[in-house]
DNA sequence: ACAACGTCTGAGCAACCATTCATATATAGT
DNA sequence: ACTATATATGAATGGTTGCTCAGACGTTGT
């Protein structure tokens, strides 16, 4: 079966109907599709690649068990790094690394008081997403 | 328990999640916590380890860009493997592998007609989750 | 000034993961 | 029976990731 880039093939498929060989890759794809109209419809509805990537990155950020615990802990009140480490039972270094990622993804923010960094949720929409995932898990 | 080396202490804390309640709390918090009462509160609210793991596994299933595209394509109508491969522009083998994972996670199901396998969403709650993640991405 | 502390960060490592390739299974058409 | 097709699957591989370790930075207290 063909494993070549389909994006190329699909785009040029309509224009290559006049092209010579029946073994053309573009035609193979059209032939391989069992339901071309359903495919075209689904492709039209498919969100753009960059939106998929950012949504995927956001979900990935929440999907990790450590980060999910961190966010769950922060859902009620702000906490500093060593407190968070104590809550989820991990080294402060590991927590700091994860908080860095959450910060980069604009999921959390922090304020510094002396040498203590207090982290908080930046978007409380995350809490509802986590809760719905937890509900889905407990059913 | 007396004073353990740092890594030792953290490992036992993470593995003894079953005995969260009264005893280990003192060990973990004694040394490093800045705000013991906030930590105790957050620990009490923290969802159980197994729920976190299943929720995490579910979110991870949706977080992957390829699987997100697959689920997005399936949100409107059922599609067979080669159609899905054409929609998202990937080999049928890769798609089959991912569908296997989605099947194992009870996110999709399929019916077979001859040699064609038609996949569909098993839980349409997934669609709203994806949409909310996409909205979050596009803002 | 000095030491203790809270946090951050780079390097290294082990585990995981998504894809490809090759192959297997099963059904359809001839 | 034989061939082509649709899907499934195991092994291998390149890439990613989460943790630990060691050390750096800035702040606080003495």
CA of A134 to C1' of C5 (A): 37
The model's pTM:
0.79
pLDDT value of position B107? 96
User: Which residues are paired to B117 by β-bridges?
Assistant: B112
Tokens found for residue B125: 């709650």
Going residue by residue through chain B (139 aa), what tens digit of pLDDT does each one get? 333 333 333 333 333 333 333 333 334 444 566 777 888 889 999 999 899 999 999 999 999 999 999 999 999 999 999 999 999 999 999 999 999 999 999 999 999 999 999 999 998 889 999 999 999 888 8
Nearest to A87 by CA among B8, B63, B33: B33
Split at pLDDT 50, 70, 90, the class of A33 is low
* Residue B16 burial class via C-beta count within 10 angstroms: exposed 0-12, middle 13-18, buried 19 and up: middle
Nearest to A35 by CA among B129, B117, B95, B82: B82
In this predicted structure, the answer to whether residue A11 has a pLDDT above a threshold of 70 is no
* Residues B46, A73 contacting (CB under 8 angstroms): yes
What's the gap between Cα B66 and its chain centre?
15
Tokens found for residue A104: 């980069």
> Which nucleotide in the DNA or RNA is closest to residue A69, CA to C1'?
D18
Nearest residue of B to residue A65, measured between CA atoms: B56
Q: Closest approach of chain B CAs to the CA of A16, in angstroms?
A: 17
pLDDT value of position A24? 33
Does the CB of B66 fall within 7 Å of any strand C atom? yes
> Which string of DSSP letters, residue by residue, matches A58-78?
HHHHHHSHHHHHHHHHHTTS-
Does the CB of A134 fall within 7 Å of any strand D atom? no
A55–B90 CB contact, under 8 Å: no
User: What 3 state SS string does B30-52 have?
Assistant: HHHCCCHHHHHHHHHHCCCHHHH
pLDDT tens figures, A76-126: 999 999 999 999 999 999 999 999 999 999 999 999 999 999 999 998 889
Size of interface A-B (CB pairs under 8 A): 183
Residues from chain B that touch A42, judged by Cβ atoms under 8 A, are 73, 76-77, 79, 83, 87
């Amino acid at each position: 079966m063909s494993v070549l880039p389909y994006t190329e093939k699909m785009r040029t498929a309509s224009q290559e109907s006049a092209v010579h060989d029946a073994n053309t890759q573009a035609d193979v794809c059209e032939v391989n599709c069992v339901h071309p109209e359903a495919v075209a419809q689904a492709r039209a509805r498919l969100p753009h690649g960059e939106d998929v990537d950012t949504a995927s990155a956001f979900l990935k950020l929440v999907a990790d068990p450590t980060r999910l615990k961190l966010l769950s802990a922060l859902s009620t009140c702000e906490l500093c790094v060593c407190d968070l480490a104590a809550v989820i039972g991990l080294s402060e270094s590991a927590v700091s690394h994860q908080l860095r990622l959450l910060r980069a993804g604009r999921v959390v923010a922090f304020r510094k008081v002396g040498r203590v960094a207090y982290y908080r949720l930046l978007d409380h929409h995350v809490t509802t997403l986590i809760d719905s995932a937890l509900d889905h898990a407990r059913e």
